[in-house]
Structure 1
Amino acid sequence: MRICLISEGAYPYVTGGVSSWVQSMILNMPEHEFIVYSISAKKIKNVTRKYEQPPNLLEIHDIFLGEYVEERIQAGRRYHITEEEKEAFLSLIGGKETRWDVLFEFFVSGRVDSILNFLASKDFFDIVRVLCEKRFVHVPFTDMFWALRSMVLPLFLCIDQKMPEADLYHGVSTGYAGVLGALAKHQYNKPFLLTEHGIYTREREEEIIKASWIKGYFKDIWIDYFYSLSQCAYTHADRVTSLFEGSRQIQIELGCPGEKTSVIANGIDVGKFHTGNRKQKESGIHIGAVVRVVPIKDIKSMIQSFSIVQQEMQDSYFYIIGPYDEDEEYYAECVEMAEILGLRNLVFTGSVNVQEYLSFLDILVLSSISEGQPLVILEGLAMEIPFVSTDVGSCAELLLGKYDSFGKAGTIVPVMHFHLMANDLIELAVNPELRSTYGRNGRERVTSLYTLPGMIRKYNELYEEVNPHGRHRISAERTL
């Protein structure tokens, strides 16, 4: 079967998380051929692929949306859109059920020579004017025009691309990736599966609420818009999976039909994690975080908690393990905060062999503002290392065992409560027996419930369920 995986802003240029999941799916399904369709905001100079391309990964289609804004614009054109098409555009922003089939047909018809030209056309001008007259009477037209243009530009650029043909499409989030999965289903009449690692809509809503560049009265418009994108994915998907039950319930609350939903948890290759390789350092307590240094991981709260721990325990050591080149400005702010706090024994390792650190760390910590089901927790527990984590995604389920009887494998604290995080780190640091108990519990939970073979088997069953006759269909059709 030829499967097109559609991801947003990750594989193969960013390590960890969704990227690791994509690579794992391809490597562990050698019987299938894969195409990866990767959407990114902009192309970063000198960026390299972080993963070696498996033999069954046929193509990687990169879409860098920022490249298209350099095109020359011809303003004031007419595209002779129909009333039905105009209503479809209005419904995308106007708070009604969106006619995605009409929008898809408009863009794949070949009538649009350039998305930037369309957004500078008299037709788009008319759409904005109608929205202002009917729904946004108190919003200045100029503000509305430029806000809507920036809002729909990435979406229209995505829809304007030709999707590669495959037997099955598997979106790795809602948002733009989810809409492209729906577009592919519309174009080729092939099955579309959706997997959410985190609830995309909720994550975007949090970002919009905090964003200073979005004026107050536009925040609701942006939030409704992203809900509309998610609804497109939920409506067109044949099946929708999540990583844990709490996430599945949120999907249903957001409008996904419950009968489409199921849970497929992440899994790791437990055989790669040998607890016999663990070697305790001669002295001190060693605390680590396997993480990308980016704002959503809230490295600053972690650093503040480390500072409190070090005041209580002079022989404590901290390792922030992972790349720090994704957001260099944020990394610099984190380094500066550590210096201001006078924090000693803190190391930003950059990209390294994580296994080397898991062999001696006493405690692992996660301070994220948002997560799905972190692979780093599964891997840490597989090495019998206890965790202190913020209460995001399925972290409480993994560490506290809400739905099993294996016992606690760590502790949970509220987001951004660095002082509570520090208290729990100190409690574990001074209690080796508790660390050992939590570590054993975590290992048992992972080896029983979160294995890679189990995850791969469930996805294979799902692929066969939605497309039982799709194996190598494209190759056969081309041969004929």
Structure 2
Amino acid sequence: MRIGLLTEGGYPYATGESRLWCDRLVRGLGQHEFDVYALSRTADQEARGWIALPPQVHLVRTAPLWSQDDDGLTYGRRERRRFAGHFKDLAAAICGEGGNFASGLYGLAELALEYGGLPGALRSEAAIRILESACRTPGANRTVQAARVPDHLAFAALLERALRPLSLGDWYDEDSLGAVDLCHATSGGSAALPGLLAKRFFGVPLLVTEYGVRLRTHYLDLAADQVPAPVRALITSFHRRLAAEVYEQAAVITPGNTHARRWQEKCGADRAKLRTVYPGMEAGRFAAVGDAEDPGETDTLVWVGRIDPSKDLIALLHAFAEVRKEEPGARLRIVGAPAQGPEGAAYLSHCRALAAQLFPDEAADQHAVGSNPVSFEGIGGPETPDLSAAYASAAVVVLSSVVEGFPISLVEAMFCGRATVSTDVGAVVEVIGGTGLVVPPRNPRALADACLALLKDPERRDRLGAAARARALELFTVEQNLVAFNGIYLDVISHCPVRRKGGAQQLFANPAELYVAGPLPSGAHVPTWAGADQ
């Protein structure tokens, strides 16, 4: 089977969100061919290059979402009329309840494929006038009605960037996405747009995987960037309607957890299309710790992750101060690096200062492990050469987040057979499944009480740790992830007609067994005209 893998800000780049699970997927399903269509988010990501690709990746095409891209083409009178009609549909749908989002979106895509020129047209004075008119219609959202020219210009720039995939003409021909059997979008949003067009132009079925719902990410990013309210309302409406269209056109949608599934259902995803597939993680790297009988340091709490405000280390430090009142020998190891940018570094400095303030008599050296009950450590040092060493030292692994998607650090702790204390955010409860303690977020007292309960009860820790490891090995390994996706690939393709140039489509023209290595089951019918290109 030939899979078109659609990514945004990840695989095959050396940095990014989806690169690890995509790489495991591609390497683990060597019986299939993969063509990768990747959108990059930053110049730095482009500069850092790609990871080494396995031989089953036959084609890679990339395009930037971060650059100012304009092909310099301008429309004639007929093309301007077509653009105006399609953009009015899109703008009306974004601004209120009128218009036809799908008609506008696909109309713009067809115009871009035939003539180019879409980036410049979306930023043109004509587009701004259409947008201004749509914002002022009686049925428009009240927040949108308050938009002014600077807001329209800002939104037009964001929209042009989000719609950049419509202008990638060389992606949409019979030798590119028209030649794949199935498109697998590894996130929603812009990454799924090529899949929508491949289905529109060539009938290619679309599979959408979301381990973190892209629409939710946009909500959080816009709030953090302090975007003006009218612009935020416009771009949020666009992404909400795009998500609805993606879910409508997808053959199957695979959320990574129930938390993501609920978001998708709220955005209109049909429950019949939803199949939860948990992320696959490498259990082998933690096998030595999980198999060992060493219970770790009986008085040590360990936190692992990216240090930023969403992880609420402030609450964790206050909770640990309460723990120390009852367990004076307790230690807290914070293992991780700050988030990129000045905000991450500033937050780490704030946490260090708070630790020194809470434990003034023991803060002579905040960097030395053991001299202070709280240590801030990076991976690769003598005390923490790798993640497994960090978890091995833990009596209890703690997660204190106020915002969380799929809690990777908890799964790693579970592979290591460690008991956990977590805040009730994101997919935490689903992942833990009763094998750890869960408390409300932003509640240092509750966090402290849960940690103390486990520190004082080693037998309970051992029972929870063993149960956690069994659960993780059953649900969250790479192997279960690969089996799930291979089954979905075969299922989707078995329900889709074979596409042939100049010929009629025929449902079930190739049985799914044709894609499986080895002999066919006895009695399976192979059409004599089934070509080798399928």
Name the TM-score class by shorter chain. 0.7 to 0.9
Structure 2 gaps of 5+ residues are 360-371, 495-509, 516-529
Corresponding residue number in structure 2 for 1:443:
469
* Alignment equivalent of 2:160, drawn from 148, 153, 162: 153
Q: Identify which of 366, 371, 389 aligns with 2:422.
A: 389
Unaligned runs of 5+ in 1: 402-407
Residue matched to 1:252 = 265
Verify: 1:335 aligned to 2:349, yes or no: yes
TM alignment of 1:402-421, pairs within 5 A? 408-421=434-447
Report the equivalent of 2:113. Answer: 108
Contact 2:4 2:183 survives alignment (8 Å): yes
Q: 1:247 to 1:14 in 2, by over 3 A?
A: same
2:47 & 2:353 partners in 1: Cα distance?
A: 29
Shift of 1:366: 2.4
**Rg comparison, structure with higher value:** 2
CA distance in 2 between partners of 1:187 and 1:371 (Å): 37
Give me the identity figure in percent: 22
Q: Distance in 1 between matches of 2:321 and 2:112?
A: 54
Moved more, 353-362 or 39-48: 39-48
Does the CA-based 8 Å contact 2:92-2:134 persist in structure 1?
Answer: no
> What letter is aligned with 1:394?
A
- Aligned residue for 1:359? 392
2: CA distance between counterparts of 1:303 and 1:39?
Answer: 39
What is the aligned partner in structure 2 of residue 457 from structure 1? 483
The match for 1:144 among 130, 151, 159 is 151
SS at match of 1:55: coil
d(CA) in 1 for partners of 2:8, 2:49? 15
Give the Å deviation of 1:149: 1.4
Deviation at 1:396, TM superposition (A): 0.5
Q: Distance in 2 between matches of 1:298 and 1:108?
A: 47
- Rate the CA distance shift 1:176–1:417 in 2: closer, same or farther, 3 A: farther
State the shift of 1:62 in Å.
4.1
Could you tell me how far apart the structure 2 residues matched to 1:64 and 1:108 are? Answer: 18
| 1:290 counterpart = 2:304 | yes
**Distance in 2 separating the partners of 1:320 and 1:230:** 37
User: What do residues 226-258 of structure 1 show as CA deviations (whole Å, max 9, x unaligned)?
Assistant: 211211210121111122345434422321122
Does 1:276 find its partner at 2:276? no
Assess, with a 3 A threshold, how the Cα gap between structure 1 residues 428 and 53 changes in structure 2: closer, same or farther. Answer: farther
**Alignment check: 8 A CA contact 2:116 2:167 kept:** no
Which shifted more, 102-111 or 291-300? 291-300
Choose the corresponding residue for 1:467, options 484, 493, 509.
493
TM-score under structure 1 normalisation?
Answer: 0.83
Pairing 1:86–2:87 present? yes
Instruction: Name the CA distance, whole Å, in 2 between partners of 1:159 and 1:312.
Output: 61
Amino acid of the structure 2 residue aligned with 1:144: D
1:376 equivalent to 2:409? Answer yes
The worse-fitting range, judged by mean Cα deviation, of 8-17 and 34-43 is 8-17
Asked if 1:229 corresponds to 2:242, the answer is yes
Question: Higher relative contact order by CA 8 Å / sep ≥ 6: 1 or 2?
Answer: 1
- Relative to structure 1, the CA distance from residue 380 to residue 279 in structure 2 (aligned partners, 3 Å threshold; closer, same or farther) is same
**Matched letter for residue 66 of structure 2:** G
**TM-aligned CA distance change 1:341 to 1:127, over 3 Å:** same
Counting matched residue pairs gives 465
Contact 1:13/1:47, CA 8 A, preserved across alignment: no
Alignment deviations for residues 380-420 of structure 1 (CA, whole Å, 9 cap, x no partner)? 21211112222223210222x2xxxxxx3212223333443
Give the root-mean-square deviation of aligned CA atoms. 3.5
Matching residue's letter, 1:444: A
Superposed CA deviations along residues 84-126 of structure 1, whole A, max 9, x for unmatched, are: 41333324523344123223212222331x61x2234233133
> Are 2:189 and 1:175 equivalent residues in the alignment?
yes
SS state of the match for residue 448, structure 2? helix
Give me the TM-score of the superposition, normalised by structure 2. 0.76
